[in-house]
Every structure is written in structure tokens, then in C-alpha cells.
Amino acid sequence: MIVFKKEQDLRTYLSQQRALGKRIGFVPTMGALHAGHRSLIDRSVQPETVTVCSIFVNPTQFNDKSDYDKYPATPDADLKLLLEARCDVAFMPDAAEMYPQGFAEVRTYDFGYLDSILEGAHRPGHFRGVGQIVSRLLEMVQPDILFMGQKDYQQCMVVKKLLGMMGREQQIQLVICDTVREEDGLAMSSRNVRLTEPQRALAASIYQCLVSIQGKQNSDHFSLVRKECLDLLKKKGLDAEYVSLADATDLTLLEDYEPSKKMVALIAASIGGVRLIDNLFLNP
Ligand code: AMP
């Protein structure tokens, strides 16, 4: 595996690989890698593919400074995981490399409705930052395939829209990978290491709520199930930001179950000051 810190070195290497007929698979991350990230790398690693994993904690997508300050950094363990996964390239730039002209100089994109709901509504400026960093990384890596996790489903939708806005939807295939979970259902997340053992166990109630929203789709109204979920989360000591139902194709929020649509349930809740998100498709 080769570790690059500089954009130019990365670009030179990848253009050589492209000339050799290799495809480029790309997994952008913020590090503190776990089995969820590993599953994305595993999807990419193939004989004729050069797999690039970027590790960069992007300051412009954090609306909460203390969340940024406390974001875990485990570079040695990350490199070990990437080596074991047979990743070809680790790209670990610093902020000066990613934003040489400063944060304000990188082009921003307006995601409209997608930025006005759920994560967009609760984390002002978050998707603006995601758009900045992902567009910049895509310019550098120019991948054929981009691997992202369903765990951040709204982010996947934002990036899909970004590919269209960048005119790259034909060249770059977006592959959305299943959410990898702990045994009790808690979605793996870099932020989970900030939870105490009891908090971690209580956090599994997020997944329990998603499963109950899924299980009651043919018997109850969503408003009732939602209320039960809010009560359960509160009882477990979680502070819910939203428990929502949406059309999975465009994230239009739904008041009630609509069996004719592909639906997704989404939850954001915090415990001990750690904000967690998760989602589940209700029907295939
Ligand atoms: P992050 O490092 O949190 O920015 O995540 C980098 C990529 O890994 C994103 O595409 C995430 O959606 C994905 N990811 C994070 N956690 C999981 C998980 N538990 N299962 C699958 N993918 C994940």
C-alpha cells in the first residue's frame, strides 16, 4: 500500500495506473476506521481495480466545533486495517493540502430540498461542507466507482445529486453499501468509541425503533409508532432529534406509511453528547 499526503503525488500515481488500464475505486472517510468502512474497502478491492481510501476529518462539514474537536483520530490503526484489507492507496492530506486557498475558496453547491430536511435542517452548513470536500476529492481521484454507506443515506442522496451537478453521473458509479451493525443492531460509527459501555448498550434502542417502525407498517399509523419510539428513546436516556419516514427515492417526508412507495425510516438521537444517526428501508 502506498500512503500519499500530497495531491500532486496522488494524481501522478493514479494517472499512471489509469494508463495501465486499471479502474479506480474510491472510499472517502474521516478515519477512525471500523468494520463498516472495511466493508466498503472490501467491495472495491479487485485485481483490476486500484482502491483509494482517503482519510480526512473535514472541518467545513462540522456545524458543532466540539464534535470536530472530539472526533477520534487513530491513524496507526487505520493504516493497519487498510493494509489487512489490501487497499492500494491511503490518501491522508492535511487541511492546507485540501484547502490551499482557504475554506471559502472551494466551490459550494446548493442541494435545495435535500439540505432543508433531517440532517440538513439539524446541522446547518453540514451538506455544504460535504459538497465542498467530496467535489474536491472527486476532482483529485477521478474514480470510476465511489463506495458510500447507507448508514449516511441522506449523504448518499446529496452525493448522487452532486455527481449530477458536476456532470459526472455518467463517469462515476455510486455504490451504496449496506450498514454494518454491532450484534445488538447499533450501526457502527467512529463516534461510538466516545460512548461509555452503558450508553453504548442504550444506543441500540435506535435500531430497535427502526425495526419497530418497519414491523408495524401494515398494522399501525406512523404517528403512533413514532410516538412510541420517541417515548422509548426518552426512557433509555436518548435525546431524539428526529424520528422520520420518507420516500427512499427522493427523501420526501411522509406523514404516514405509503405501501406503494419505497420507504426509509430515519432517526437522529444523542446520548451523553454523542450524536448518532441510523436508517432502515421498510420494503425492498
Ligand atoms: P465517515 O468516516 O463516517 O465519514 O464514513 C465514511 C464512509 O463509511 C461513509 O460513506 C459512511 O456512510 C460509511 N460508513 C460509516 N459507517 C458505516 C457502517 N456502519 N456501515 C457501512 N458504511 C459505513
Domain with CATH 3.30.1300.10 in the chain: 190-277
CA 235 – ligand 1 centroid, Å: 28
pLDDT tens column, 48-86? 999 999 999 999 999 999 999 999 999 999 999 999 999
Q: Is 90 in the pocket of ligand 1 (CB under 6 A)?
A: no
CATH T-level topology, domain 190-277: Pantoate--beta-alanine Ligase; Chain: A,domain 2 (3.30.1300)
pLDDT tens column, 151-172? 999 999 999 999 999 999 999 9
Look at domain 2-177 and name its CATH class.
alpha beta
Q: Residue 132 above 80 pLDDT?
A: yes
Domain with CATH 3.40.50.620 in the chain: 2-177
CA 189 – ligand 1 centroid, Å: 7
Query: Is the separation of the CB atoms in 172 and 146 below 8 Å?
Result: yes
Show which residues are catalytic. Answer: 37
pLDDT tens column, 17-53? 999 999 999 999 999 999 999 999 999 999 999 999 9
Among protein residues, the one whose CA lies closest to atom 12 of ligand 1: 149
Cα separation, 217 vs 225, in Å, equals 9
CA diameter of the chain: 58
The three-class DSSP label of residue 209 is: helix
E strands, the chain, are 2-4, 23-29, 49-55, 89-91, 145-149, 173-177, 239-247, 263-271, 274-281
What pLDDT was estimated at residue 103? Answer: 85
Q: Residue 284 above 90 pLDDT?
A: no
Pocket residue to mutate for ligand 1, from 56, 151, 178, most atoms within 8 A of Cβ: 151
- Which amino acid is located at 190 in the chain? S
